[in-house]
Copies of this chain bind each other. A is one copy, B any other.
Amino acid sequence: MDNFLKKGERIEDLGLKELKIIQNPDFFCFGMDAVLLSWFVARRTRGALHMIDLGTGTGIIPLLLYGKTTAASITGLEIQAPLVEMARRSMALNGLSAQIKIIEGDIKDPGSEILPNYYDVVVSNPPYMRAKAGLKNNCETKTVSRHEVLCNIEDILIFSKRMLKDRGRLFLVHRPERLGDIISLMRTYRIEVKHLQFVYPSIKKEANLVLIEARKSGNPGLKTDAPLIVYNEEGQYTREIYDIYGMTPPE
């Protein structure tokens, strides 16, 4: 498999239907948020849906959605050429180049390959931080992945409003501190939040992630699912996290 790899890259086994992904520690590597988001989408959808992942990076979410859902089509959109190239190699490595399309493009100006009112599901694990907030990572690829330099919440909503079918759904993972921005902006675009699930590092700690499901032209009214707790009081992953990762907890 080494002919799939460039210098500094490694192959990670996803522990799901023998799927593998190429990662490069010099870029932004996928984290638990991508895994939780894919699990959340899989749990909340069924059937032969058309799905697109915005800012797909190395393609982790399309691969996990392929493994966990019965989607009719899965597309990943990514603006950064080195990541597009890497994601495409990961798809080839899995023999999934036909099943998962990786498109190079800007969500603010998507090309003609992306059709309006076509998608049932838009997914995104977007940059969490405002463009001007916090320290920026020197490496440009990591900066773009973490900060709203090339893509912010409003860009995702504009894209979703245009590309989702009526009543289609947008799934996001984000930091709870941005929830005020997200919910109020969504309403502006008539995309209504329908489900929230907060992720707490432990039962005694503040939430550090929130999983969001919203519906184009949805009515007000949302449910907040049972809390997702990452570590138990002994500092080990909870049963639920082991389940989500498809791993067996130690006896």
> How far is it, in angstroms, between the C-alpha of A180 and the C-alpha of B225 when the chains are bound?
15
Establish whether residues B192 and A180, one from each chain, have CB atoms under 8 Å apart when the complex forms: yes
Instruction: Contact check, A193 vs B207: say whether CB atoms are below 8 A apart.
Output: no
CA distance A211 to B180 in the complex (A): 15
Q: Are A180 and B226 in contact (CB under 8 A)?
A: no
Contacting pair A222 B183 (CB below 8 A): no
Q: Contacts of A224 on B, CB cut-off 8 Å?
A: 176, 179, 198, 206-207, 210
Residue ID in chain B nearest A181 by CB atoms: B220
Interface of chain A, main secondary structure: mixed
**In this assembly, does A204 line the interface, its C-beta being within 8 Å of a C-beta of chain B?**
yes
Determine the distance from Cα of A192 to Cα of B225 in the docked complex, in whole angstroms.
Answer: 24
Looking at A180, A186, A206, A222, which has the most chain B CB atoms within 10 Å of its CB? A180
Q: How many A residues touch B, CB cutoff 8 Å?
A: 30
Do A223 and B203 touch (CB < 8 A)? no
A 165-184 binary contact with B (CB < 8 Å = 1; else 0)? 00000000000111111011
State whether B207 touches A176 (Cβ < 8 A): no
Report A202-249 residues with CB < 8 Å from chain B CB: 203-207, 210, 220-227, 229
Contact A180 B193 (CB under 8 A): yes
Contact B179–A222 (Cβ < 8 Å): yes
Considering the chains assembled together, what is the distance between the CA atoms of A223 and B176 in angstroms? Answer: 6
Residues in B with CB closer than 8 Å to A184 are 183-184, 186-187
Q: Give me 26 A-to-B residue pairs in the complex whose CB atoms sit less than 8 angstroms apart, sorted by A's number.
A: A176-B196, A176-B222, A176-B223, A177-B221, A178-B220, A178-B221, A179-B196, A179-B224, A180-B183, A180-B186, A180-B193, A180-B222, A181-B220, A183-B183, A184-B184, A184-B187, A198-B227, A203-B203, A203-B226, A204-B226, A205-B226, A206-B224, A206-B225, A207-B224, A207-B225, A227-B229
